[in-house]
Structure 1
Amino acid sequence: MTPDYLPFHPSPKKPDYTPPPGAVDAHCHVFGPAAVFPFAPERKYTPCDAPKEQLFALRDHLGLSRNVIVQATCHGRDNAALVDALEASEGLARGVAIVGEDVSETDLKAMHAAGVRGVRFNFVKRLVDATPHEVFERIAAKVAALGWHIVVYFESQDLDEVAPLVRRLPGIVVVDHMGRPDVAQGVEGAGFAAFLRFMEENQDVWVKVSCPERLTLAGPPYDDVVPFAARLVDRFPDRVLWGTDWPHPNMKSHMPDDGALVDVIPRIAPTEALQRKLLIDNPMRLYWPEEGA
């Protein structure tokens, strides 16, 4: 099966920045291997195999301690690869699944036992077909009983369309990749200002300050994206998460070096206190609350 985007970096550098012990990569994926966990027929892209063994090896190489593995659209609602990775992680990974409104209570409880703690709603039009917001609300009501949160993925121009739904969802809602701001507008632009207001007005909304490689116009070392992430960390230190997004699906301009992505962390969270909140306190509170972090 031939992938239709660049393969992940084969030998990322050892980061210059040393993450604190216990640091969490709060957004990454496992894909396949396709021979064992086939990709969804309705997928919009075909990834390369990126199995759990390589993810966990990368975690250790980067000096990280835990993973939050997010189900991607290429596997659709078949969460088998995700659950397999969680069960192999020895408690060092949690998951975010994709489910339909017909998901059973039995299936949800089984995923919870494996380590799933949230569901993802995708609104990026080039990746998924449109779904009525009422469907998402019914799913959210089902998973709320387990204490799960919701992850939402949308692009900045769609904030006004998605925001009313987010306000109706129960519990914590996590926005992927800074709401995909238009970097060309600059950090003081109207689009990002609207997102900051959205965060201010909705105290249960968190945000991942991830994916500079996906948002950049200038390329590495992502100087044009760093101010956006730094602003969010400064304004909302208790509601930010960070992740690699490995293996970086749909990247066609360049494939980032994951070690270099880790080196961005002290540029967006310049103090040890902010780094601890971003990498340990916040993800542990959301995904491993039983450990009392």
Structure 2
Amino acid sequence: MMDADWIAFHPSPKKPDFILPKGAVDAHCHVFGPAAEFPFAPERKYTPCDAGKDKLFELRDFLGFERNVIVQATCHGKDNRALVDACRAAGDLARGIASVGPDVTDEELTDMHDAGVRGVRFNFVKRLVDATPKEVFLDIAERIAKLGWHIVVYFEAADLQELVPFLESLPTVIVVDHMGRPDVTKGVDHPDFQRFVDLMARNQNIWTKVTCPERLTVAGPPYDDVIDYAAYIVERFPDRVLWGTDWPHPNMKSHMPDDGALVDYIPKIARTREQQEKLLVANPMRLYWAQ
């Protein structure tokens, strides 16, 4: 039974006005269950609605994307079966980001690679997961680097300073979720956001997703208070940015975004066709489909 305050995904998103470039990738989305087939993890911090692969692929086609990168949802813990099943079902049209523990076997990693998994996610958001010692993450990083995988990291802006030495020690490409969740009331020039910009500038292996204006906004839709942050990053690091819907939008408390309206947000932050092509096609294809 899903949480009483859970907000389900939008039942009928608008058809986007923005026409996505051919080959566009939704590079950040999730699958939840269905719980009857893929039960949620006992240690989960939330219980969502069912949002399985069929619904995800239906949305992909409706919005005009050709491919998905499916990120393991924390409600499934380290049981990646729903993710792997979705990747296998999509064939070459999906890639996956798994969540694994120190006990994962090389055989399991190889099997996930064959299914389309190309990375692991390290989550540092305390309200979503219990803390994991960084030594555990470093050991996993060394192992997955041999497969050519990369690491997705999720943290909140207040935790960035403490995480910098750890992030700079990782041996792979790193993709930071949602620009490190900046406080958009402070301004692009604020030292907190510039600390993240400096991290990307110093480390050519660090990418970011210019995603989730609906999570970062204070003003609400159409998320104009987030535009300057994402546009700044796209302009400064055009070859190291990704974009995704975040469907089915886990743990949204204020409102449920319209996925079609989110697609219409893209040209506000990637303002030229060249930027749009890199953000939506060239960058994700290079990172996820080159191997």
Q: Please name the residue that 2:177 is paired with.
A: 176
Q: Please name the residue that 1:28 is paired with.
A: 29
What amino acid is aligned across from residue 5 of structure 1 in structure 2? W
Q: Deviations over 1:72-108 (max 9, x none)?
A: 1100000000000001002100000000011100000
Q: Please name the residue that 2:88 is paired with.
A: 87
Cα offset, 1:205, TM superposition? 0.2
What amino acid is aligned across from residue 219 of structure 2 in structure 1? A
Mean CA deviation greater in 181-190 or 223-232 = 181-190
Q: Please name the residue that 1:258 is paired with.
A: 259
2:147 counterpart of 1:146: yes
Q: Please name the residue that 1:69 is paired with.
A: 70
Cα offset, 1:213, TM superposition? 0.2
Cα offset, 1:160, TM superposition? 1.0
Q: How does 1:217-232 map to 2 (within 5 A)?
A: 217-232=218-233
What amino acid is aligned across from residue 138 of structure 1 in structure 2? D
Say which SS state the counterpart of residue 91 (structure 2) adopts: coil
Please, which runs of 5 or more residues in structure 1 have no aligned partner?
none
Q: How many angstroms apart in 1 are the aligned matches of 2:245 and 2:18? A: 14
Q: Please name the residue that 1:126 is paired with.
A: 127
Say which SS state the counterpart of residue 125 (structure 1) adopts: coil
Say which SS state the counterpart of residue 94 (structure 1) adopts: strand
Q: Compute the TM-score of the two structures, normalised by the length of structure 1.
A: 0.98
Say which SS state the counterpart of residue 224 (structure 2) adopts: coil
How many percent of aligned residue pairs carry the same amino acid? Answer: 70
Q: How many angstroms apart in 1 are the aligned matches of 2:178 and 2:48? A: 20
Mean CA deviation greater in 90-99 or 161-170 = 161-170
What amino acid is aligned across from residue 140 of structure 2 in structure 1? I
CA contact (8 A) 2:141 2:172 kept: no
Q: Please name the residue that 1:202 is paired with.
A: 203
CA RMSD of aligned residues (A): 0.7
Q: Deviations over 1:93-135 (max 9, x none)?
A: 0000000011100000000000000000000011111111100
User: After TM superposition, what 4+ stretches of structure 1 lie above 2 angstroms from structure 2?
Assistant: none
Please, which runs of 5 or more residues in structure 2 have no aligned partner?
none
Say which SS state the counterpart of residue 138 (structure 2) adopts: helix
What amino acid is aligned across from residue 105 of structure 1 in structure 2? D
Q: How many angstroms apart in 1 are the aligned matches of 2:286 and 2:16? A: 26
Q: How many angstroms apart in 2 are the aligned matches of 1:169 and 1:90? A: 30
Q: How many angstroms apart in 2 are the aligned matches of 1:112 and 1:98? A: 13
Q: Please name the residue that 2:167 is paired with.
A: 166
Q: How many angstroms apart in 2 are the aligned matches of 1:73 and 1:109? A: 22
